[in-house]
Amino acid sequence: MNRLALGLAYRGEAYCGWQRQANDDTVQARVEQALSQFADVPVTVTCAGRTDTGVHAINQVIHVDAPVEREHVSWVRGTNRYLPPDVAIQWCQSVDDSFHARFGAIGRRYSYLLLESPVRPALEAGRVGWTFRALDGDAMQQAAQMLVGEHDFSAFRSSQCQAASPIKQMRSIDISRRGAYWRIDFHASAFLHHMVRNIVGCLVAVGAGKRPVSWMAEVLAARDREHAAPTFSPDGLYFVGPDYDARYAIPTRPPSTDWLP
């Protein structure tokens, strides 16, 4: 069999997350069904990062041991024929058998898009988070830098998290603004369940003046979820994609998504 790596983009509003479930519509189920229809044999996939209900992906990477021989462009266009409009394969390439979409990832990136507006979003509903309070970007950036480095992120971890260890390396957090929209970019070795959304909740609390900048360090040191802000909405969360060893030459993002975070 020929091992393939494929990149997916999808909107998460309509799905109960990535992972296949018995009675719910998920992205994995849709992708495996489409690949199986195209290949005319059952196909299963492994992904780089399982996204939650309502979370989007720009470059979700999967690998599959292809049961049939097809051109790369055929895997993309042929499979997309069987996918709904909000899910699409963006690229396909051959990789050697040592490549593993999940365990081979050496880093992951997420972005959170946040609308600052007196009223809730309409056109962007489901695709951005929302705050009606004015935010102080400098305060948020200062608070965010307290999380950079290797830390125990238990304070930002969901009670349902199955990760073996809460210790992760946050490589960077960058905050920018364009008009009424804030963008928060996260790069880490890996992420815990709800980690980004819980951090965003804390950053918004600091930016809105409800908490001082120093509070972020206190939350981190407490290692207790009860000390952090409520989990923020999944609407504005995008899995930008994983990092791999350069020898695999995995695309970091497809050209069709350049307008996204």
**Do 113 and 99 share a structural domain?**
no
- What's the number of domains the chain is made of? 2
Domain region containing 27: 2-104
Instruction: Say if 45 falls within a structural domain.
Output: yes
**Do 113 and 234 share a structural domain?**
yes
What is the reported pLDDT for 43?
95
User: Which of these is catalytic: 24, 52, 152, 174?
Assistant: 52
Residue 99 near residue 248, CB atoms below 8 Å? yes
Q: Identify the domain boundary among 59, 86, 104.
A: 104
What is the reported pLDDT for 183?
96
Mean pLDDT by 10 residues, the chain (261 residues): 94 95 93 97 95 96 94 97 97 96 97 97 95 97 98 94 92 96 96 96 98 97 94 96 96 79 75
| Whether residue 52 lies in the annotated active site | yes
Cα separation, 254 vs 8, in Å, equals 9
**Do 222 and 113 share a structural domain?**
yes
Q: Identify the domain boundary among 104, 121, 145.
A: 104
pTM: 0.95
Spatial neighbors of 33 by CB under 8 A, at least 6 apart, are: 82
